[in-house]
Structure 1
Amino acid sequence: MATATLEHVNLTVDNPEKTAKWLCDLFGWHIRWQGEAIHGGRTVHVGGDNSYLALYSPGKRLAGSSSSYVTTGGLNHIGVVVDDLDAAEEKVRASGFEPHSHADYEPGRRFYFQDDQGIEYEVVSYAMAPAS
């Protein structure tokens, strides 16, 4: 049997186009597809050539729920690998998000941020840390 590859993750957001725009700006991704979705909603697929995030909106505001870390089946965070962690952090800040939980660990460096939908992202780089 061949090794499986993760193709996409489907997330519910208020405004798929707005979320897709900052994801494209931040990570250099592109919109792969967009159109009508189930329950009168709309979906935008944004990512690279081999994987993407499906950003779904049901067309109406949804009530929030408790933290995903205490909800069985909840999404804890999305991990994104970048070549230049410092440049990515600058872009995160410029997008209006606040990086937190910075850590150096074997074999890389990382930080987290939460977007305006309450979705947490881990940004990690396996490139060598800059010389001090």
Structure 2
Amino acid sequence: MGRLEHVNITVADPAATAEMLCTLFGWRIRWQGEAIHGGRTVHVGGEGDYLALYSGPPGHAPEEATDSYTRRAGLNHIGVVVDDLSAAEARVTAAGYAPHSHADYEPGRRFYFREENGVEIEVVSYG
């Protein structure tokens, strides 16, 4: 069976986004360096999976999607599993983000927040 190894997303500042994700979720930078089309990429995550955070060359201005849920190939959200949802929400709030759409559902609990690049992150706990 295959497994998801990584997702590659375009962000304004890969280093800043990686720092935020490491702070909120305890991840680490796995690799960073030059990337396709003169851009830069930072891989951030754990041992078996990661996010590739890409930015094009200086001066490159990617299009901004207005609604990922209705645009084909849009990124709807990134899901992150945590052991302690309350502690994760406290870190997200302390970092200046606004948690929203809290829900208890079978089999867990969750909330969402949107970060500087417009990427929505779902934080979920199954414990």
Aligned match of 1:61: 61
Q: What is the aligned counterpart of 1:51 among 46, 49, 52?
A: 49
TM-score, length basis structure 1: 0.92
Aligned match of 1:8: 6
Q: Counterparts of 1:78 and 1:65 in 2: how far apart (Å)?
A: 16
Matches within 5 A, 1:102-113: 102-113=102-113
- Bigger Cα displacement from structure 2, 41-50 vs 55-64: 55-64
Structure 1 unaligned residues grouped into runs of 5+: 128-132
Question: Contact conserved, 2:65 with 2:74, CA < 8 A, in 1?
Answer: no
| SS of residue matched to 1:87 | helix
Moved runs in structure 1, 4+ residues, more than 2 A?
59-63
Q: What is the aligned counterpart of 1:35 among 33, 36, 43?
A: 33
Structure 2 unaligned residues grouped into runs of 5+: none
Matches within 5 A, 1:85-124: 85-124=85-124
Identity rate of aligned residues, in percent? 66
Deviations 1:25-70 (A, max 9, x none): 1000000000000111000000000000000000223231221111
Please report the RMSD computed on the Cα atoms of aligned residues, expressed in angstroms: 0.8
| SS of residue matched to 1:55 | strand
Q: Counterparts of 2:112 and 2:65 in 1: how far apart (Å)?
A: 21
Letter in 2 for 1:72: R
